[in-house]
Structure 1
Amino acid sequence: MRLVHNSLHDEVAAQLREKIFAGELAPGTFLDEAQLAALLKISRTPLREALKVLTVEGLVRHEPRRGCFVNEVTEQDLDEIFPVLALLEGRCALEAARNATDADLEALEALHQKLARHAKARRINEYYAANFAIHEAIIALAHNRWLATAIADLRKIVKLARLQQLHAPGRLDQSLSEHLAVFAALKARDGEGAEAAMRTHLQRQRVALRELARAQRGVLS
């Protein structure tokens, strides 16, 4: 008997997750089960199971007698999440410094060179992609699936906020400098230094997001 690894409700959850991250289902949107079931051409049973998955992930909230809504991320949520992310990714950097081979460091150096080129050319979208690849590489080098899972779950909530901290004034160059500090510590096999540098990097991301949100409120007021 062949096992089916992806059940229907997992596939539905993936589709809904993609729509949420793409902004097709905006924060606060009521998730009408009848409409979604018709749109996805499925029955309500797998849809409800998918909504349970997204509720556990924090992307959806369930309100008794009202139904499900796309979750909204508040400034307080971000204030609480980023210190935890800083701790987790800092630990990944520490373990990566212990585990990285020379070949791993060469691959990371190539990614940082790409990051620097994108920063110099002010290619923000490409910078984001290289930045994500670097974070993923460091997480993978930690060889700790519990850290990786916890970080992935928190990232989903941050992604829901649809905020771009690199648009804050001066943040692009600051971010590059922080990344280079992390890499320098990794290259020196300085676990504690890499951990501290990664924590600083995540903490400054939150500061940049807060400043950007404040500036946007000022424009709207």
Structure 2
Amino acid sequence: MDAIDSKAAAAPGQVIARTALYQEVAERLRARIFAHDLAPGSWVDEQVLADEFGISRTPMREALKVLAAEGLVVLKPRRGCYVAELSEQDLDEVFPVMALLEGRAALEAAGKASDADLAELRALHAQLERHAAAGDADAFFAVNDAFHAALQRIAGNRWLQHLIDDTRKMIKLTRRHSLQVEGRLEQSLREHARIMDALAARDPERAARAMHDHLLSGREALAKLGGAG
């Protein structure tokens, strides 16, 4: 019995057990891709990974089909599976989509945010200020993600959240992020301050514009690094 299979097999119903297994494998592979342990453009060795996870190749292949449907890997006939790569054109196309989606989330959040919600966002913004002052891009990046996630939760639109999550998966394929550009930390902080001001004023249209411009500004900074890989 496969090592990961042992727990799954205890669940009632063989079909459910197999489904749980390949979904777990897909999640592990997804995490490796986002961490770039499986780098963009690299070949995915099904057998090596299956052996490492202690499973057969069947759930591994099912997991890779899930990731292929998400656009994270590419299945090439007779050549195997490769981690997807984003071109500059891909980034030029995906960032405006993300800007529209996150702009909408900011618009909806501005109309729904409670005082407690705003206090949460201000606390996150204060962390961004500290990390920017320290020049800690990695910590800033992590809190930035938390800020955007909190804003989307406040918006409370599950359909919008689903689209944002799917689109963000693609952006995570790039090996770089805009905060690596000199001066971008401070610029991003100013953009976040404008978003906060609009949210505090409960001005949906201004919040949407500020978020939209923030995302496009990130793309412009990313372009300065050159090369999507």
Shorter chain as normaliser: what TM range?
over 0.9
Letter in 1 for 2:163: A
1:21-47 alpha-carbon deviations (Å, 9 max, x no partner)? 222211122222222222221111111
Q: In the alignment, which residue of structure 2 is the partner of 1:140? A: 153
Q: Aligned to 2:102, which of 89, 108, 111?
A: 89
Structure 1 counterpart of 2:86, from 62, 73, 91: 73
Deviates more, 1:64-73 or 1:97-106: 64-73
What's the counterpart of residue 6 of structure 2? none
Partner deviation per Cα, 1:106-149 (whole Å, 9 max, x = no partner): 11111111111111111111111111111001111111111111
Secondary structure of 1:62's aligned partner: strand
Q: Distance in 1 between matches of 2:126 and 2:36?
A: 32
Q: State which of 115, 118, 122 in structure 2 corresponds to 1:109.
A: 122
Match of 2:185 among 157, 172, 175: 172
- Per the normalisation by structure 1, the TM-score is 0.92
Question: 1:153/1:191 Cα in 2 relative to 1: closer, same or farther (>3 Å)?
Answer: same
1:49 equivalenced with 2:56 (yes/no): no
Percent of matched pairs sharing the same residue: 53
- Which stretches in structure 2 are left out of the alignment for 5+ residues? 1-10
In structure 1, the residue corresponding to 2:226 is in which secondary structure?
helix
Match of 1:36 in 2: 49
Which consecutive residues of structure 1, in runs of 5 or more, have no partner in the other structure? none
State which drifts further: 65-74 or 178-187.
Answer: 65-74
State the number of aligned residues.
216
Q: Which runs of 4+ in 1 moved over 4 A?
A: 1-6
1:2 Cα offset (Å): 6.5
**TM-score normalised by L of structure 2:** 0.89
Which of 4-13 and 37-46 deviates more?
A: 4-13
